[in-house]
A and B are shown apart, each in its own frame.
Chain A
Amino acid sequence: MSMASNKCAVDDLMRASWTDDGSSRIPSAVYTDRGIYEREQERIFYGPHWSYVGLEVEVPEAGCFKRTSIGERSVIMIRNRKGEINVLENRCAHRAMRFCQERSGKVKTLVCPYHQWNYNYDGKLLGVPFKNGVKGNGGMPQDFQLEDHGLNTLKVAVRNGVVFACFDHEVEPLEDYIGEEILACFDRTFDGRKLTLLGYSRQRIPGNWKLMMENIKDPYHPGLLHTWFVTFGLWRADNSSRLLMDKHARHAAMISRRSDQVTGNIDENVTSFRANMQLNEPLLLDIVHEPWWGSDTVCMTTIFPNVIFQQQVNSLSSRQIIPQGPDSFDFVWTHFGFEDDDEVMTERRLRQANLFGPAGFVSADDGEVIEFSQEGFHQDKDFSTLCELDGRDVGSTDHMVTETLIRGMYRYWRGVMEA
């Protein structure tokens, strides 16, 4: 299929599948169609949107690198000799090799092993073997210039230890992109203190990548699906809370306050509440208030398109989304603490990490429900989801009984994808 006819096919599908101009009924094709997915890659992941790539602490010294991905494109985050962080595309300028195969490490230069093309930490091509030929034979043409063949460099923004990058150098500044309200949530955790790296968890979830964004824009489910949250008061529909979004409604934050006293069930329909459930080991919920929280105990921030920042009591992580086709994504958790944490606090963060990740008491089942939703979209191509809790419009709220953040993301998504 030619590019032009492919574009028309996607346009037609977009038109045909949405039932109205709103964003409360999301059609199956949005989760399953390859053409729509490829347009997302181009317009969202490789377009003017900032993507999370990592934490500065992961590359502490010059030459330290971390390999990751933005959309399906492999990139390398590396620190240069001036202490700056670069993000370079992991694709040799010669024969397209994804030359970097280790996840992390420290190198003197970046070398593609195929023909030993050699790049510095800024992605500049330093040299190529046999450039001037051997014994008068061969070599590169006269007009070959090293400076024309560096690695593809991305635009980079670092804020308080967190690194974002973008393939499109015309993208707006990161702070404008995130917007004032969500930036305040970001800065609440990342206030400039030095971070410590606790480790990674990785899972491959067989569902569309947007379902994970929806999951963390959906305050309806945690107090229902996750018995732990509702029983121990960590996340309940009756907790004091507020939902924020940026002016485009593409990013969001769900902020809440744990109830100290869980008095009972909140609604007879909530079957996950267990009145008699008690922990054999209370240390699992040994929550210690940290001054920077203020009165809120949880803040889940989604920054479109690829990262979720988690503060759930003493557990802190970034959760990065790496799409792998319309039906699958990798979900990479990076847990961290602060440099001034004592051993007891580090141990506490590690213990509370049992709640999260692929085996977590309250997040293993998120991956499972996403898998089953994806199966449902495949079996009924004419289906549309119903995201109409609290109406059909989009706006910030001071309660959790709403799906407004999901509607907000799809309103933005339609604007980008239908342009």
Chain B
Amino acid sequence: MSVPAELRQRITDLYAAYADCIDAERFDEWPEFFTENGWYRVVARENHDRGLPLSVLSLKGKAMMKDRVYGITSTIFHAPYYQRHIISVPALTSLEDGVTAASTNYLVIRTKRDMAADVYNVGRYIDEIVEEGGGLKFRKKFCVYDNDLVPNSLIYPI
């Protein structure tokens, strides 16, 4: 089923706002992009393709996402770095009951202090987007990354 132009525009804005939030390191706002029980998952393509359930991160619900935010801002020690998300135009499909499925290529470039920028994480968002509380939210966001040899660590949200 085709997706109305207005909804398509709002979803494009959602992705732009999402990238802006994490690239600007406003991590406290990041869980607000999800529904109350939304599922955020970062998963190696190897596992995804083979149907293996392990994720690098699997956070179910905003509460768990808030715990992650506390972790990345307060407890996990790591070298500082910037992220820059480049997100493609999403391929959209309407599912049942106002749910829109989105498949979107993404590229995250990391720049560490005193270092050249490098391709950090590259893959595809497999998302489900719904209306909740007067806005669009991710009910599901799977970040399925191709470069499954993580360059040391992965701290901030993708």
Contacts and interface: CB of A to CB of B under 8 A. Distances in A.
**A and B part of one assembly:** yes
A344 interface: no
B149 A197 contact: no
B56 A357 contact: yes
B75 to A, nearest CB: 4
Contact of B56 (A226, A228, A358): A358
A359 interface: yes
A139 interface: no
Interface size class of B (residues with CB under 8 A): 35 or more
A5 to B, nearest CB: 36
Interface string B99-132: 0000000000000000000000000000000000
B92 interface: no
Nearest to B59: A354
Nearest to A369: B77
A353 interface: yes
- The DSSP consensus for interface residues of chain A is mixed
Nearest to A231: B75
A205 interface: yes
Interface string B5-47: 0000000000000000000000000000000000000101011
Interface residues of A, number: 42
A204 B120 CA distance: 12
Interface stretch (A140-148, A180-188, A238-246, A280-288): A280-288
A198 interface: yes
A206 B47 CA distance: 24
Contacts of B151: 203-204
Nearest to A370: B152
Q: Describe B's contact surface by its main secondary structure.
A: mixed
A411 B39 CA distance: 48
B94 interface: no
Contacts of B54: 198-201, 335, 350, 353
Nearest to A351: B58
Nearest to A330: B149
Nearest to B152: A367
A364 interface: yes
A204 B66 CA distance: 28
Interface string B115-157: 0000000000000000000000000000000001111111100
B78 A200 contact: no
Contact of A361 (B60, B66, B76, B152): B76
A227 B75 CA distance: 6
A371 interface: yes
Contacts of B155: 359, 364
B76 A364 contact: yes
Interface in A251-286: 272, 274, 277, 279-281, 283-284
A353 B56 CA distance: 8
A367 B149 contact: no
Given A200-B46, A204-B152, A205-B152, A353 B67 contact: no
Nearest to A336: B54
Contact of B150 (A203, A353, A365): A203
A351 B59 CA distance: 8
Contact of B67 (A201, A281, A335): A281
Query: Which of B46, B74, B151, B152 has the most chain A CB atoms closer than 10 A to its own CB?
Result: B152
B52 interface: yes
Contacts of A311: none
A273 to B, nearest CB: 11
A202 B149 contact: yes
Interface of A: 103-104, 197-206, 225-228, 272, 274, 277, 279-281, 283-284, 330, 335, 346, 350-351, 353-354, 357-359, 361, 364-365, 367-369, 371-372
Given A199-B47, A354-B59, A372-B79, 6 more contacts: A198-B52, A199-B44, A199-B52, A283-B64, A359-B56, A359-B57
19 contacts: A103-B46, A199-B46, A200-B46, A200-B148, A203-B152, A204-B150, A204-B152, A205-B152, A227-B74, A227-B75, A228-B75, A281-B61, A335-B54, A350-B53, A353-B58, A365-B77, A365-B153, A369-B77, A371-B79
